[in-house]
Structure formats: C-alpha cells, structure tokens
Structure 1
Amino acid sequence: MKILRRLCGAAFISALLSVTAHAAVGGYPVVLVHGFQPDNLASRPNASQVTQNGAAYWSEFWGTRAEVRIDWPSHERITGQIATQYVWPKLRQMSINNTCNPGCVFVTHSTGDLVTRYILDNQALWLQNAGLRPLNIVATFDFAGAGGGSELADLAVNVATGGGLFDRTLQLALSLWLGQLPNANNVGVLNDLRVNTARQLAAFPDSRVPRLRFVGAGSDFLGATGAFLPGTDDGVVASHSSCGASRASSFDSCATNVAFDGKLVSQSSGVTSFMPLHFPMLMSEAYSHNQVIGQQRQGNITVARNSARYTDQKLLSFSSYDETRGWLFFASRYRVVSGSERQAMSPLVFQAAN
C-alpha cells in the first residue's frame, strides 16, 4: 500500500510538472522575455546564473504558465552577446521543437519589450538561413515596455562615462534604480536603453505582430526617479515608452479620453500616435514597473483599448463598466475593468486570454 501511494504521488507530481511545462494562454505556448536586471552589471553572471536569474524573475506569476523562457544577461548588448549567445540558441531550439507551430505569444517585461522587437525583426531570416522554419508569433503581451527607452538609462550612461552633471538628487534616483552608481565598466544593456538608441533598434520590424501593452503609473521609489522621466511614469520608464508612442515626449495617458486612474476626461497629453501595431490595452495608476507582472492586487485597472486581434484574428478583449464617484457638482465618471476589483493585472490578462 505504501508503495502504491508513493507511485500515485509520483504520478501526480509528474502530471503536474507536465501541465506546467505545457502551460499556454488560449492554447498558444507562452515565451517569456524578462527585463533589465541591474545587479547583473556588477555580478556579470555566467550562463547557469543567467538561467537561475530568469527563473527567479518570473517566479511570482508567469513562470509556471510558460513553455519557454529566453533568459539574457544585462551586462551585455542586445545586438552582441545577448542575440548570439542567448537569444539565437532558444529560437533555434523552439523551431526544431515546433514550439510555435500552433502560434505562440511572447510575454515581455521592461527591456524584454526591446529585446523582443529585435527578435521580431530578425527571427525569420535567421531561422531560414539555418534551414529552419520561422516562428509563428501571433502577439506579444508587453508589460511596462521599455521599447522606447528610458531617460534614466541616458542619465546612467552619462554619469558612468563622465559626460553629465551629477548631483545628490540624481545620485539618489540612480542608486534606487540600479542599487549602485554606474561606472564605465558596467553599463551593458543600459547603452541600448538610451532613448534614441532604443527607438532606432529595429524600429519597423518586417514581422507584423501586434504588440499589446499593459501599463502602470505607480512607483517603488517614492517618486525619486520620476523627476527624471517626462510625463507620467512607472518609476522606470515614461509613458511614451510603456504605451508604445511613436515619439518620445511628455504623455500623461495612453489614451485621449481616459486617465491612468480611470477618470473619463479629455487627456490633452494623451498619446495619439503609436509605433507600428502597438496597442495599449490596460492602464492603472496603482501598479509600479515591477508590480505589473506580479499576482498581488494593487488597485483598480482601466482600459485604454477594450480589444485587439492577434495575427490569426483571434480577439483579446476586456469588459469594463463606468461608475460615478463623488457627489453632485464634484462627481466624476470612472471606467473600471471588470475583475480588477479582485485580481492583479497579470492574472487579469491571463484570464482574458484564456
């Protein structure tokens, strides 16, 4: 009997691991591409440590819901070692394994947005040249996307290379973000995150994959970093980047008719022009840069756009309702995504995609 119980237990664990290994959203395998990891600049992790760091990065929610992770070290450059030593082997293996034959969804965070844009621009040619089938990527879910770069990266590189002014306020902001002050020997992917550099990297990829954006406007740094970011920010990237705006400027919303807190009012500083196939979906003033990929609810969420289609025309949509807050002349209307009263942003997206 004890042996039988052990065997049943082992079978259960094996089945659980199998389900985890083949997790998906809406039947599409999920590929995770993490963001910038500041501690990499000083630690310069080896390949094994990069893998461990990647697993830890997504452990709160998305890690058990993905088929593949593309892990990469932040002390390297995107078009250099990141592409050749970390991205290409994963793309090759995914093609060999037919991972994306039914279509797959890339889930990105922060700089993972920029790394993925480079992948979208090159993966088909790379794989075809190797005699392999290109990946069928139907959409990307970009959380707190840094594809438009971050002004903090510009400042960090300037400080590291001695090319910028340096005061206590900036010192505090960079220390809070990076955990240390940068120097010329540990800049790495910060070079790619500079606003102009980021916006020039594969800015118009041939692959017509919808980039669906999920954006926060909170901060883990008590507003210290926001002083160096234009418009509304999430503590690390400004809205021009996370919303997917076609240009870097001072924006206060991803939409022109709703604010980050859901208030239905004209947004004179809302984004009106976006990078190709970039569609902001959810916004919330309650979620910071890192909280958007967690599972802890921070507050209500609103919609910049209720729905968008994948390349195969499958629809991702969010339901919402309007409510009145305040009294008489002080009353205002707010738009709230259904379910955000109970769920965090990532679980809400996962549920909608399924």
Structure 2
Amino acid sequence: MSVSLWCEETEEAHGQVEEVDHDYEDRSPGKGQARGSAQLRAPWDPTVSGHRVIQRLLQMEERYMPSNLYIALMQRDPERREELTKWSLEVCCDRGCDEAVFPLSVSLMDRFLSASLSLPVSPYCLTAACILIASKLTECENITADTLCAAAEYSFLPSNLREMERVILATLRWDTAAVTPQDFLPHLVATVDERKDGDTDSQEPLSALRRHSDTLVAMCVCDSGFLGVPPSLIAAASMNSALRGLSTQGPSVLAHMSERLAELCQTDPVVLQCYSEMIESVLRQRLRNGLQGTPMGKDEEMDENERAGTPTDMRDIDF
C-alpha cells in the first residue's frame, strides 16, 4: 500500500461531537468565534510539569531560533514582518484559534524566511500556510484553507495555500513542532503557584496571571525587537511583568518570584529584569499609540514612570 506524507486533505466537514465527556475541559476560545463542533482538551496533568520538563524545553529551544543574519535584517527593517505578524494575530483572534497557534505560526514563518532570506510572491499566502500548519499541530479542529483564503480576501487560492504549505514543510524538513514561549508558560505558572508559601489572601487568580502573560507574549512575538530572544526568556519576562502589574504583594516577594523565574530559565535575574522592563516600555508605547486621538484629561494622562498595566484583552493593545 502506497502512503504519502503530503498534505492532501479535503475540505469535507468533520463529524459533529454529540456528547461531551465531563472528564475533559471544554476549549473556549478567548477571542473571536468558536469554530465548528465542540472542542475538547485534556485537563492539565501536574505529573508532566515541573523542573524536568522545563530543562528539556531549554535544551530544545536553541534548535528553533532563526539565524543571526535574518534577525539583523528584520530588526533593520521591521515594518514588513510586523505587518504580517499583526495580520496573523488578527486571523487567529477572529477565528478563535488556540493561544498556541499564533506564536507557533510566527516561529514557522521566521524559520522559513531565515532559511530562504526572501519573501515569496504572496507574503500573506506564506503567513496563512504557517497558520494552517500551526493549527494542525495544536488544535483538534484545525482552521480550514477556505477560511484563510477568505481572511486574505482571496488574494490567493486554496491550491496556492496547499502548495505553499508543502514548500514550508520541505524547507523545514517537517520539523515543525517548535518550542515557543507558550510551551513554558503553564510550567512557570505552576511553579510560581507552588512558591507562594500558602499566602492565599494575597494570591492573584492564576487564570488572570496566565491571561496577562499570554497577552504580553503575543506582543513580544509581534515586535521584531524581541527576535533572537530565547522563548524561555520571553515567557519568564512576560510572566514577571504580569506579576508586577497584578500583584499587591511587597517588593521582596516580587523579587523572590523574579529570582525563581530566572533560576528556572537558567538566566541572570538582572537579565530577566532588563527584559521585563523592556516589555513594560513597549507595552506603554503601544497603549499610548492605541489611545491617540482619544480626548484625555490631565488626570487621565499616563505617567511615564508609572508601572505598566497588563490588559486582559489583546484588543486593548495597538499591535
């Protein structure tokens, strides 16, 4: 029997899920509309988290970094990349994709461009193909080719999208399960929760911490200034900034959590603090850009030295 590895799936509708097993959690897209039938996800398993898993991810993340030449080129002229990443984020949010789809799709795009050092005829077709591959890897019901073509206002055909998908897979030698900041976040959240010494009165809900961290990670993925920064450091710095923005605890407790995050990611606490401040600076700037044109009184103006807030909804940030 002949077996082909090429992606030759059809656009036929999948069967509908009749019943939901209550042993699993419903996947509820945070933004946009849910696609198709009910989607299920296994609950978080604490036995596959912790220091051992983080160490394994740290060993693998260097393998999926773009080249230094590509990083230098993109940081010299970031507009085109940021245009494509912003469109990718809009598509993922509008279509209710899993939060892991967007950073993985951008990682695939960066690695492909790092290998080719040239944009294809249709850059949006490349971006859509990366979203399609990332969706297949992370979601039970992946986004369809027709949906991506519609999102791009039919600037390319489904056949063009599938051909681009094959080119990406061949270029990356089918090594598509890249390590992204989203892979570190659940382990870092679980570890921070364990280190709070039972002070439940001052603990912020973990769901809010994860939400804010996801938002900051998405902002870093869009910003070419963070190209070349290891995913572990982006995840840790985003969570550190989220803790600073959410927590009502004292500086000593926050400093202890920062040291713990730096230890887990095998980086210096000063480096972690530097990137946390960089994230907060970028966040303030993008929030300020988003508020331009809105009348503000003197009492509502943002103080330059004020600690950056972390909005729950990505739409609050001008990406």
The reply to whether TM is greater than 0.5 is no
Q: Of Structure 1 and Structure 2, which has the larger fraction of its residues in strand?
A: 1
TM-score for the superposition, normalised by structure 2: 0.27
